[in-house]
Chain A
Amino acid sequence: MGLAGGLTIGIAGAIYLLGAGRIMGASGIIGGLVDGSGRDTALDRLWFLAGLIATPAILMALFGLSPHTNASSAPAVLVLAGVLVGVGTRLANGCTSGHGVCGLSRLSPRAIVATALYISAGMLAMAVLRHIWGVI
């Protein structure tokens, strides 16, 4: 399912690039609405977000799926993680979709550096948080 889902994500990015001429990065699409830098393209961004948020819910209803996010139920963990992800992706100008999928596929040097760093930092954090401190 990983490969099939991945191909679907890639096709979504290809349609956005060839159709709208834009890079499909989740953090950039919502971040541009948050800080006002994407005001000129606000409508495209809102339509994209509408599709992104509505489709999983529609698929669930159609196919009777009940996916779980298995997310932490500790509010402090969710808030800290959310702030770090929000600040980090906007400073880096991209996340897993923008740098990972769209940037790597055109061998962008910035995307390669960003992806190597956030995966390494994530693996290091996981090693410390789970195996040394045992908190997650």
Chain B
Amino acid sequence: MLRSMISLLSGGLFGAGLMISGMTDTTRVQGWLDIFGAWDPTLAFVLGGALLPMALAWRLTRAGRPLAGGRFPAPATPTPDRALIVGSVIFGFGWALAGLCPGPALASLGFGGWQGILFVAAMIAGMWMAPRLRLVLDRRPAKA
């Protein structure tokens, strides 16, 4: 029950923050990526603003346990693997193409019309395919 309420509250604030910051507007996101055009720095302020409470929260995880029980996430693993590198580049191309990443795409489902719904449906299809692609990436031996 407590976990569900925390999840609902957190999801709700996340959606509100995405909307307030203008990140559900694809022209703002594409404007941030458009360094050779009319560059829009808003995303840097959004990311910067979001990092402050999160950095504080990570400090608080050094002691104690989560409010709803369980454990805090394990320490970050140091080494980027091939899937992380390939996946991030693929994500970047898709992000530029439509100006949507997963959070804002979901947040705009309620008001974004058929475009947002089609994007999210395609994103879910991509997410369903990913584990099969990961097997291929992990199978190929790494060249030193």
Contact = CB atoms under 8 A, between A and B. Distances in A.
A31 B96 contact: no
A86 B57 contact: no
A59 B73 CA distance: 32
Contact of A78 (B57, B68, B118): B118
Contacts of B35: 123, 126-127
Given A117-B92, A136-B97, A6 B126 contact: no
A119 B88 CA distance: 9
B29 to A, nearest CB: 9
A62 B52 CA distance: 28
Interface string A53-93: 11111011000010111111101011111111111111111
A5 B22 contact: yes
Interface residues of B, number: 114
A60 B20 CA distance: 11
Interface string A78-121: 11111111111111110111011111111111110111011111
Given A24-B14, A90-B126, A125-B96, A71 B49 contact: no
| Size bracket, chain A contacts | 35 or more
Given A56-B24, A69-B112, A82-B119, A126 B53 contact: no
A55 B90 contact: no
B56 interface: yes
Contacts of A118: 88-89, 91-92, 95
A10 B36 CA distance: 29
Nearest to A89: B91
A8 B17 contact: yes
Nearest to B92: A121
Interface centre among B35, B94, B109, B131 (most CB of A within 10 A): B94
B88 A129 contact: no
B30 A136 contact: yes
B73 A5 contact: no
B91 A85 contact: yes
B96 A87 contact: no
A78 B88 CA distance: 19
Contact of B102 (A1, A10, A27): A27
Interface of A: 1-24, 26-27, 30-31, 34-35, 43-45, 47-57, 59-60, 65, 67-73, 75, 77-93, 95-97, 99-111, 113-115, 117-127, 129-131, 136
Given A56-B24, A67-B24, A85-B119, 9 more contacts: A6-B17, A8-B20, A20-B66, A35-B127, A57-B110, A85-B126, A88-B90, A97-B103, A125-B93
